[in-house]
A and B are shown apart, each in its own frame.
Chain A
Amino acid sequence: MNSTIPTEELRSITLSVYRFDPGKDKKAYMQDIEIEVPVNKDLMVLDALVLAKKQETSLSFRRSCGEGVCGSDGMNINGKNGLACVTPLSEAIKGEKLVVKPMPGLPVVRDLIVDMKQFFDQLEKVKPYLITKDEAPEQERKQSPEEREKLDGLYECILCGCCSTACPSFWWNPDKFLGPAALLQSWRFIADSRDQATEERLDDLDDAFSLYRCHGIMNCVSVCPKGLNPTEAISNIRKKLINRKK
């Protein structure tokens, strides 16, 4: 469609953003950047960052889909983890100031970009893929709608990291506690009627740290941009572990 850009009434807001470039900064600092946003249209935090980057081209952050499905732009927005592209300024902003920092608990690479290695290492430990022992049929493996429904609320995870980096247990033991995102994935496969590795998956989790470091704080639930419930998944695994010991 042909489109014209109507002139908009603008207002000024302050973006206070975490800055760190390992090539030149000894330590991180907060920088205030003034941007102009429309009065009558609610932008997302990502739009505000893109506007800020026009002035400060060195400002770095990850982004891709811009609609909350790819999980690139998890960050800490006015104290709460969320995806910049689906967090409206009207919800995020306190007063006229928007404070944006990287997700906590992981090493900062630059500005709003964290090193996700620990997060993905933990994910890989739960063998996040379907394991089957029987030979595959010629067509699909059958699964009833009820069996498939058990995956709802699990398969939608976008690996943004908002949950694990909001979890104090993960902050303390990011190498030993698997964290909510990885454990949600573990349950996603245990819950799958097609998967045939429940016992080995449970064996892998049956130690003092991997799963049991979850203390039910539920930060993961309150920050998940997809509305998923890792705490429930963890408690489901816990029940399986306990039942099997009886």
Chain B
Amino acid sequence: MKVDEIIKAKNLPIKDFDGIIIGGGGSGMRTSLQLAESGLKTAVISKVFPTRSHTVSAQGGITCAIQSDDPEDDWRWHMFDTVKGSDYIGDQDAIEYMCSEGPKAIFELEHMGLPFSRTEEGRIYQRPFGGQSKDYGRGGQASRTCAAADRTGHSLLHTLYQANLKAGTDFLNEWFAIDLVLNSEKEVTGVIAFEIESGEIFYIRSRATVLATGGAGRIYASTTNALINSGDGIGMALRAGFPVQDIEMWQFHPTGIYGHGTLVTEGCRGEGGYLINNEGERFMERYAPNAKDLASRDVVARAMAKEILEGRGCGTNQDHIKLRLDHLGPEVVHKRLPGITELSKTFAHVDPAVEPIPVVPTCHYMMGGIPTNIHGQVITIKDGKDSLVNGLYAAGEVACVSVHGGNRLGGNSLLDLVVFGRAAGIYIEKSLKQGLSLQLSSEDDIDQALNRLNNLNSSKDGKETAELKKGMQQNMQNNFGVFRRGDLMEKGIEDLTNTRNAFENIYLSDKSAFFNTARIEALELQNLFEVAEATAITANERKESRGAHARDDFPERDDDNWLKHSIYFSSDKSVSKRDVNFRPNTVQAFQPEERKY
């Protein structure tokens, strides 16, 4: 059965696995490793060869209180920083779990061979990152981010791939997942997916389906994200009738290379680099007198945007900021930041050991996602209450277990991947071995999941992918960026509403079966559109400023009304609120305070 045909469920071949993981990045491969070692029949479905996944682009490190730089460091301090960084809508049970389990997960990675940089004592090297403190904010800057030079994501992803090879994980590489298959109980029984090269399509059936599809930064025109970051898991979940949480919370990384978007790690500022405006002023001293350039990312990105808006941007168009590293000396720049040196030379034509790098705040990370508990089990809302979705799990950037809340701290995304990828694996292994079973899906259920593909394959006219994508990305960039305003967002939402039909009916001119990237891009764009619309509608509903969500028309945080998660369903485009968890197990909850850096 090939992907270029109009397909009926009754003809569709089936592949059976105990567990499937959709996505071969850091979280997916951490889950698969856990399951492969358990002897269960599991497969990773990845649309790219696993080491091409976007985890590879993470640079600066993985934050965790492993007590190398500071033997007195405490995971509770890390927890405090993360809660504060989240602007108090991170779930404290999940943050507690991540920060306390973190060291175990890091040491496991080291045992697998991750080539961390080292201290003189032979321990893992840790560097300072934004928003880090000792002693619950009272003890000054901490150095808590474990690093492999500035190639930590590359090292982590390759190490996990290597460990999976060793464990004998079954990889379905260059397979694309189209939609989830449900049953009459609205449980998830697997996914429709095809092998990109041959075009062979299957219903891949499983008792545990894990979404580990990463982010969706490509909804914006300018992003640090890979071209493959199209929110496939979010699209699949929304179409299946499951919600997304805090999807309006998008991190703009302070330092994307001007004109290109390539990430320049926060580790640059951790190693002593700083930002300057066109007067050469180290302006972060005005915005964050204590932490300065190592304030939280939302704070730094807004300060940069303000400098530019007030006419102090650099360059002939006064539209960017400069990142100085030259004062650190070539030794530090080349040894600690070799990848940045390479990227700066390639994309900005500057050697950072000599000249500053031109940078602008650039879309970087999706704090929101599919709500889950700490075991990766997906949560939906029924009659205003949390309800677990049988058969479906999520981990990593696609999930919102909510450790990042309104703003993620640097180095916490890699930790999120390995801690919750691992946690999901442990939980799934246990429940599968206890004999978890699901009702079978009917042919109608399967046909439902084939709709999107069949629609695309029968398209006869309309707009094509490239044209539609450009308009959507520009809309998101202009109306849902660092600063947001009701009237502009409404205009943006209207534009999305008006174009939904065109996105649902993309015209696919090339309908061939073998390695057809045009079909993939069309399917991806439909996923991006779901993410964009969810972002837009939810952003307009959250009438306050919190974390990365900064509104000119509601400049203050509103704890009375919005110390809440947002929950969005695409079926009726509704936004509701969900309680934030303030019940950690072993420490007192951290109560909201004014955020100062």
Q: Chain A residue with minimal CB distance to B199? A: A23
Interface size for chain A: under 10, 10 to 19, 20 to 34, or 35 or more residues?
35 or more
- Report A51-85 CB contacts with B as 1/0, cut-off 8 Å: 00110011011111111111110000000000000
Q: Chain B residue with minimal CB distance to A138? A: B107
A7 at the interface (CB under 8 A from B): no
* A39–B122 alpha-carbon span in the complex (Å): 51
Q: Are A129 and B163 in contact (CB under 8 A)?
A: yes
Q: Chain B residue with minimal CB distance to A51? A: B466
Q: Which of B324-348 contact A (CB under 8 A)?
A: 339, 342-343, 346-347
A2 at the interface (CB under 8 A from B): yes
* A113–B481 alpha-carbon span in the complex (Å): 36
**At the interface with chain A, which of B108-116, B496-504, B558-566, B587-595?**
B108-116
Q: Which of B243-265 contact A (CB under 8 A)?
A: 252, 259, 262-263
Chain A residues near B288: list those with CB within 8 A.
none
Interface size for chain B: under 10, 10 to 19, 20 to 34, or 35 or more residues?
35 or more
* A128–B262 alpha-carbon span in the complex (Å): 29
A10 at the interface (CB under 8 A from B): no
Q: Which of A14-56 contact B (CB under 8 A)?
A: 21-24, 41, 53-54
Chain B residues near A155: list those with CB within 8 A.
115, 148, 151, 155, 158
Q: Are B111 and A136 in contact (CB under 8 A)?
A: yes
Chain B residues near A12: list those with CB within 8 A.
none
Report which of A22, A65, A148 forms a contact with B115, defined as CB distance below 8 A.
A148
Q: Are A69 and B57 in contact (CB under 8 A)?
A: yes
- Given the known interface contacts A3-B477, A129-B162, A159-B51, the answer about A143 and B118 at a Cβ–Cβ threshold of 8 Å is yes
- Given the known interface contacts A67-B347, A156-B154, the answer about A22 and B514 at a Cβ–Cβ threshold of 8 Å is yes
Q: Are A64 and B305 in contact (CB under 8 A)?
A: no
Q: How far is the CB of B270 from chain A (nearest CB, A)?
A: 18
Report which of A54, A66, A132, A141 forms a contact with B226, defined as CB distance below 8 A.
A66
**At the interface with chain A, which of B36-44, B276-284, B515-523?**
B515-523
B222 at the interface (CB under 8 A from A): yes
Chain A residues near B54: list those with CB within 8 A.
64-65, 70
- Given the known interface contacts A1-B360, A67-B347, A70-B52, the answer about A109 and B514 at a Cβ–Cβ threshold of 8 Å is yes
A86 at the interface (CB under 8 A from B): yes
- Given the known interface contacts A71-B52, A139-B107, the answer about A113 and B155 at a Cβ–Cβ threshold of 8 Å is no
Most central of A53, A61, A69, A195 by chain B CB within 10 Å: A69
Chain B residues near A141: list those with CB within 8 A.
110-111
Secondary structure of the A side of the interface? loop
Q: Are A142 and B308 in contact (CB under 8 A)?
A: no
* A2–B484 alpha-carbon span in the complex (Å): 10
B494 at the interface (CB under 8 A from A): no
* A116–B515 alpha-carbon span in the complex (Å): 14
- Given the known interface contacts A68-B346, A140-B116, A151-B115, the answer about A1 and B515 at a Cβ–Cβ threshold of 8 Å is no
Chain A residues near B162: list those with CB within 8 A.
128-130
Chain B residues near A109: list those with CB within 8 A.
197, 514-515
Q: Are A129 and B482 in contact (CB under 8 A)?
A: no
Chain A residues near B165: list those with CB within 8 A.
124, 128-129
Q: Are B113 and A194 in contact (CB under 8 A)?
A: yes
Report which of B56, B107, B222, B513 forms a contact with A65, defined as CB distance below 8 A.
B56
Report which of B252, B308, B466, B515 forms a contact with A53, defined as CB distance below 8 A.
B466
A192 at the interface (CB under 8 A from B): yes
- Given the known interface contacts A3-B477, A57-B518, the answer about A144 and B122 at a Cβ–Cβ threshold of 8 Å is yes
Q: Are B52 and A144 in contact (CB under 8 A)?
A: no
A145 at the interface (CB under 8 A from B): yes
Q: Are B228 and A64 in contact (CB under 8 A)?
A: yes
Q: Are A21 and B116 in contact (CB under 8 A)?
A: no
Chain B residues near A21: list those with CB within 8 A.
512, 514
Q: Are A70 and B308 in contact (CB under 8 A)?
A: no
Q: How far is the CB of B348 from chain A (nearest CB, A)?
A: 12
Which residues of B approach A to under 8 Å, CB–CB?
48-49, 51-54, 56-57, 66, 106-107, 110-113, 115-124, 148, 151, 154-155, 158, 162-163, 165-166, 197, 221-222, 226-228, 252, 259, 262-263, 305, 308, 319, 339, 342-343, 346-347, 360-362, 464-466, 477-478, 481-482, 509-510, 512-518
Instruction: List 10 A-B residue pairs with CB atoms under 8 Å apart, sorted by A's residue number.
Output: A1-B360, A60-B516, A62-B52, A65-B54, A67-B347, A70-B48, A70-B56, A72-B48, A155-B151, A189-B113
Sorted nearest first, the 9 A-B pairs with minimum C-beta distance are: A130-B113, A142-B122, A129-B162, A58-B510, A140-B110, A110-B515, A70-B52, A129-B166, A136-B111
